[in-house]
Structure 1
């Protein structure tokens, strides 16, 4: 576990989110590791970013990871992939489009990879039923320098309802239990998931320092159960349950 490029999540926590959805807003091109880690269990991967190219002309999301070969069995694009960003009443909006790829696993089961061209904060409130997101993945984000400056772990007032109180929306969308994967980007001060943000520790080292410890915050019980590779500091995996 000393190699920060490795990942570790106990099988019981992978089983807990099996058949659920993984959502990664503001994902950019950071899709390889989420797919590598969760492709054996997740049914739908959603990666959202306004930077995806017009037309959604992109290479297939995956071929093989970890000795498993995944076969692309279907592809479609819906929405308007040539849409441009609009200025609406106090907020920006990009009419969403989606590149949807279906893959089969070696055991014959299938899963989908959806790359959504649009704002992830709007997707959170409009694309997912309540209690459907088993994994919320967010890292490598920032307030500037190309970052989104979207505070998914805070409740802030916004005139447009889908942008308002994003953390309350996120909690409503999460399964029970769920996993939150974060490097602490854009988290509130003193929140447990932000304690290693910008640290030079490896993800494995940070995990060993808080392994299986529990925090109560925001009406939730946060338990550090694993790690994946670094971005803006160690990236830890938190099991989240309503307290």
Structure 2
């Protein structure tokens, strides 16, 4: 196998492990947001195992690439990815959302290595990531900053203030990935507050825009691993909420649904 095919195989295997582990965590605690976990896991697996520079033994290393999980409720995806990347042992995942656990329902940088920002209130991640990218631009640093937002989250106006600032400052080392699963809590994004035409909105704010299948690891690797240009980059990742489990896919109720024993068993049979 070539180096690239090895990388894609590693991303695929780790994404499957993350799905199985994240769903187990949600089942055990009967808490979580598995639909959004599953729509975003392939993006995170590609970033952590194919694109980003970081050192789990030195998580605050100055030249590391930064990742901000703006859709901070999708902690199953984030915690399993950081664990698999080597930031903390797998045993810690068993404490997910338990009393006194470091693995809160929303990520906290004071508790866990690899977490760049406390997120959860939607609309905060992109402004934080924009500030990180501005600092890197001022310092002449080479690190890249990646931020994953939900599509429903883009209804928050703070995102567009940050987008305008990033476009104005030509923050070429900043990449936002939109988890475009078209569902949010309760119903579709277009029924709640229409986002389309979404690519043209980002372009109007001075961003280079790319659309990609958010579950195709090769396509994600191409677009996320490409060298920066002279503008910030927006990657619209077209995804499926609950991807990988038949009864969860494209179902708004699985935004924060939790499985019973029968559903858990079925999911484990399908996630192979």
* Shorter-chain TM band: 0.3 to 0.5
Relative contact order (C-alpha < 8 Å, sep 6+): which is higher?
A: 2
Query: What TM-score does the superposition give when structure 1 sets the normalisation length?
Result: 0.38
Query: What TM-score does the superposition give when structure 2 sets the normalisation length?
Result: 0.35
- Greater strand percent: which structure? 1
- Greater helix percent: which structure? 2
